Amino acid sequence: MTTIESVLNETRVFQPSSDFSQRANIPDIKTYQVLCKEAEQDYLGFWAKQARNHIIWHQPFTSILDNHEPPFYKWFSDGVLNVSYNCLDRHLSTQADKVAIIFESDSGEVTKTTYEELHRQVCQFANALKNQNITKGDRVIIYMPMRTEAVVAMQACARIGAIHSVVFGGFSAKSLHERIVDAGAVAIITADEQVRGSKHNPLKDTVDQALNMGDTDSVKHVIVYRRTGAAVSFNSDRDVWWHEIVQQQSVDCEPEWVSSEHPLFTLYTSGSTGKPKGVQHSSGGYLLGAKLSMQWIFDYHSSDIFWCTADVGWITGHSYVAYGPLAMGATQVIFEGIPTYPTPGRFWEIIQKHRVTTFYTAPTAIRSLIKLGADLPARYDLSSLRLLGSVGEPINPEAWMWFYEKVGQSRCPIVDTWWQTETGSHMIAPIPGAFPLKPGSCTMPLPGIVAAIVDEAGHDVEQGKGGFLVIKKPFPSQLRTLWGDPDRFRNTYFPKDIGNGQYYLAGDSAYRDKDGYFWIMGRIDDVLNVSGHRLGTMEIESALVAHPSVAEAAVVGKPHAIKGEAVVAFVVLKGAYPTGDTVTEMINLLRDWVAKEIGPIAKPEEIRFGENLPKTRSGKIMRRLLRTLARGEEITQDISTLENPAVLEQLKKNAG
């Protein structure tokens, strides 16, 4: 573990204001400790109580945790519920007229949808899905713009027990195809186009391309939402218009009552090897995590206007757009566009216009907003804000301070939330009315979450020492398996050698300081975090070598001021080592190629060519050495075992 060392030394501490604490759901550290103690003394009793308080069960559960077959844990498994019922119907008798969604389009039109109206739309669309013979357990791909309709589509799937798998609109036809095939999807819900920053992205065209790549016979229906009215090709055997199929549908739809363990959705995410993993979540346990964290971490109050800027294509957009806020009965903002269009103050304008109280975004967005205009927030009325949140990667203290002072006007706590696609909801995050904050630390675990830092043998490391971040006990919102690949699930997350297969291995390294605060240090695997998005280096390498001119490729990350991490690719071409103009030509060609293979988010920032890659005599690519080269640092590693030292000179040159 000597290689895991922290360089950060942050000593500032920020106390929550008494104003904030006084009306907080958890007003002080003692209340937090009482909850933790409760969980410690009676783990199952603690979770059962939360599940009974927060979820409306159609049939109550008697089994709390079934651990007969670890790590395939089941929670509340004889309980029966419907997630959509818990997000919509439950509010109809108490707050039918409350606005659920304030939608703002790319060009600024605002549409408000009440709980009653959202319920109606979800029911009609759910009935339309049933009418297409989509039933419980069927997989449905959702490839949609960031609009109310995306949430309607997800909630409608949940209502009928279909398992949705949302694919981010920025993914390419090939990435979409891979997910369609892996999921064995029966239907795809999409739109003619997506509009962001006035740019049109032809989603339906991309779906058509994906469906022409073979092995997609499972797909019987493509449902198309008309966003722009752009001409799209229509296959009348397969394609239907959203607005046509909902016509005449009843505004009531009896929910499909499912077991707590029924899969609510799968969501694909990158790992260190092979193809993306279909992370499979449950219904009851997942919903509980999303709802509890709304209450504890976002300190939800009924007067809040909640805004999470994440796209529904990522887990954040599932837990804190499509499910958590609705389960809570919140009013939330959904924004179709981008922070810079039509003005660099768009985010601040939205906060001002809709009186947003809770603003949750990513460090990469914060850094680019600083770059766009560090003083811009001062020109807007941000007095409605009371809580800020950050997610996706470690937030650097400079960005934290700016967010705190310029956006929150030193009044709003920042919740730096550590969690993952796999954990479903927040795991380590501040309780904002209770915890003193330290810029850059996600602070301490939620009550009932047994997070720890261990060494290779699974033993707790000393305070201040880096190690593997694990969660020692199963928790309700954790992933249940990887779609179609239980072995990979077990081997990746519950490895035998660490804690004897008992611990959930997160894939991050971290350390704890003297106050018990967690500091995340980074990934321990070959996963990059570019603008808060996970990218497997293997995926990008496979995309590169799929190009006919590429013989070999290795991809590493290097620090980037805005994106957090940037992709650097080292490439060996099949033909001659490129020189002169061919270098730039090849770079542009390969960058576009990767965008086409995976999606623009995976485009390498830099590409360098060599006649070879640095390898050990046994043929292993020396990735650590490549990382040093990518960062332009002095080589201090032992290169005596290097098969081909001359190649280093070529690769040192920045070709991109």
Applying CB under 6 A, which residues contact ligand WT7?
269, 315-316, 391-394, 416-421, 442, 506-508, 520, 523, 529, 532, 534
- Taking the complex as a whole, the smallest distance from the CB of residue 375 to ligand WT7 amounts, in Å, to 26
| Closer of 178 and 393 to ligand WT7 (Cβ) | 393
Q: Least distance to ligand WT7 from the beta carbon of 414, Å?
A: 11
Which residue, 342 or 397, is less far from ligand WT7 as judged by CB? Answer: 397
Closest distance to ligand WT7 from the beta carbon of 390 (Å): 6
> HSE (CB half, 13 Å, CA atoms) of 621?
17
Residue among 269 and 358 whose Cβ is closer to ligand WT7? 269
Instruction: Give whichever of 377 and 507 is closer to ligand WT7, judged by the CB atom.
Output: 507
Question: Can you name the residues that pair with 240 across neighbouring β-strands?
Answer: 223
Tell me the residue number closest to ligand WT7, measured at CB.
Answer: 421
Q: Which is nearer to ligand WT7, 155 or 531 (CB)?
A: 531
Q: Phi/psi zone of residue 198: left (φ > 0), alpha (ψ -120 to 50 degrees), beta?
A: left
Min separation Cβ 516 and ligand WT7, Å: 17
CB of 113 to ligand WT7, least distance (A): 25
| HSE-CB of 127 using CA atoms within 13 angstroms | 17
Instruction: Return the H-helix or E-strand segment holding 373.
Output: helix 363-373
- Which lies closer to ligand WT7 via its Cβ, residue 219 or residue 442? 442
Q: How far apart are CA 201 and CA 227, in angstroms?
A: 11
Give 134 or 521: the residue with its C-beta nearer to ligand WT7: 521
**Bridge partner list, 556:** 568
| Nearest-approach distance from CB 285 to ligand WT7, in angstroms | 17
Please report how close the Cβ of residue 508 comes to ligand WT7 at its closest, in angstroms.
Answer: 5
CB 141 within 8 A of CB 185: yes
Torsion of CA 125, 126, 132, 137, to 10 degrees: 140
Q: Which residue from 145, 494, 526, 188 is spatially nearest to 336, judged by alpha carbons?
A: 145
Nearer to ligand WT7 among residue 124 and residue 316 (C-beta): 316
- Judged by beta carbon, residue 272 or residue 650, the one nearer ligand WT7 is 272
Q: How far is the CB of 314 from ligand WT7 (least distance, A)?
A: 6
Gap between the Cα atoms of 623 and 613, Å rounded: 10
- Please, what is the minimum distance in Å from the beta carbon of residue 428 to ligand WT7? 8
Cα→Cα distances 362→62, 269, 309, 316, Å: 39, 18, 8, 10
* Nearer residue to ligand WT7 within complex by CB, 120 or 318: 318
The C-alpha atoms of residue 29 and residue 45 are separated, in whole angstroms, by: 22
Contact 122, 156 (CB under 8 A): yes
Which pair of structure tokens corresponds to residue 312? 């529904």
Q: How far is the CB of 420 from ligand WT7 (least distance, A)?
A: 4
Q: How far is the CB of 533 from ligand WT7 (least distance, A)?
A: 6
Distance (Å, whole) CA 254 – CA 126: 10
Evaluate whether 443 touches 451 at the Cβ level (below 8 Å).
Answer: no
C-alpha dihedral (474, 479, 483, 489), degrees to nearest 10: -50
C-beta closer to ligand WT7: residue 134 or 391: 391
Distance CA 1, CA 468 (A): 9
Surface-to-core class of residue 471, CB atoms within 10 Å of its CB (0-12 exposed, 13-18 middle, 19+ buried): buried
The helix/strand/coil state of 444 is coil
